[in-house]
Amino acid sequence: MVCFITLETITALKGFEIGGMMAKRTSVPETALGLPHVAVEAVGLTKVYGSGNTAVHALRGVDVAFERGKFTAIMGPSGSGKSTMLHTLAGLDTVTSGHVLISGKDITALNDNQLTLLRRRSIGFIFQSFNLLPMFTAEQNIVMPLTLANKKVDRAWMHTLVQTLGLQERLQHLPSELSGGQQQRVAIARALISKPAVVFADEPTGNLDSVSSAEVLGFLKRSVRELGQTIIMVTHDAVAAAHADRALVFADGNIIADVHEPQVEQMNTLLLQARGNAVSEYARPTTSTQIPVPPVAQTR
């Protein structure tokens, strides 16, 4: 089912630090309910870089909720706002206006130290480049977030992750002794070891061949189905998006399509449409410094 909407390395283990001025904060509107079945929610999310003629409207008042225990893909052409969306949802970038709620907690109201603690305790990250520490074994890399937080390893959970990801025979290997797919599976286990509320994956198959990509995507899907994990993944690949329960397509800072049970051909078609929308917006003449803002995407 497709709902069309009018256009409109390793530092992560300890938590990312964000510098610069914080955006102006206002109280969370009553529409942001922080419902128990919602893992992450964006309310009126807006991000503008620069000002005046050079202003770039990366996100234009986006409203969207991500259900707990689901796998969501975010797609879009370059410059569509998909990566900015991931970064603001994860607290890696500040917002110009709007709110982000993780498990009902408004992270836009937190200071840098509070955000660092939140990312350490409640958020998992999976990167395109794996970001494994080369001098440590796979097992040591997996438990590194707990080591840095001075927390004990839940051995039962560790065993479940290792079994689910098929890493039983690789725990004592160094990253250099693992294939790309195996390294990414270790990175997935590392992201899940602290039982985060949500895992953000930034092009997790971008550096892998087709076989390894399918393997990693299969494991991500299993972590949702069998372990109850919530995953939000940015990807440019329609095949990768088709592994998700839901796919959002971005263009010009808006969600233009919300697809449940996405299929490869369907996503390729929508991606082409998104690219067309981006070209049309870029070519549109303006008579002032204010860039026209399309209607806000509604997904609820």
Instruction: Give the tens place of pLDDT for each residue, 202-227.
Output: 999 888 888 888 888 998 998 899 88
Task: Judge whether residue 295 has pLDDT over 80.
Answer: no
- Residue 277 placed within a domain: yes
What's the total number of domains in the chain?
1
pLDDT digits (tens, 9 = 90+) for 146-196: 998 889 999 999 999 998 888 999 999 999 999 999 999 999 999 999 989
- Residue 292 placed within a domain: no
- Residue 90 placed within a domain: yes
- Residue 233 placed within a domain: yes
- Residue 136 placed within a domain: yes
Any bridge partners for residue 100, and if so which? 42
Task: Judge whether residue 274 has pLDDT over 50.
Answer: yes
pLDDT digits (tens, 9 = 90+) for 92-134: 899 999 999 998 999 999 998 999 888 888 899 998 888 999 9
Whole-number percent of the chain with pLDDT over 90:
56
Print the domain residue range for 205: 2-16+37-283
- Residue 105 placed within a domain: yes
| Tokens (6 digits) for 155 | 């051995």
- Residue 245 placed within a domain: yes
CATH classification of the domain holding 116:
3.40.50.300
- Residue 30 placed within a domain: no
pLDDT digits (tens, 9 = 90+) for 223-270: 899 888 999 999 989 999 999 999 999 999 999 999 999 999 999 999
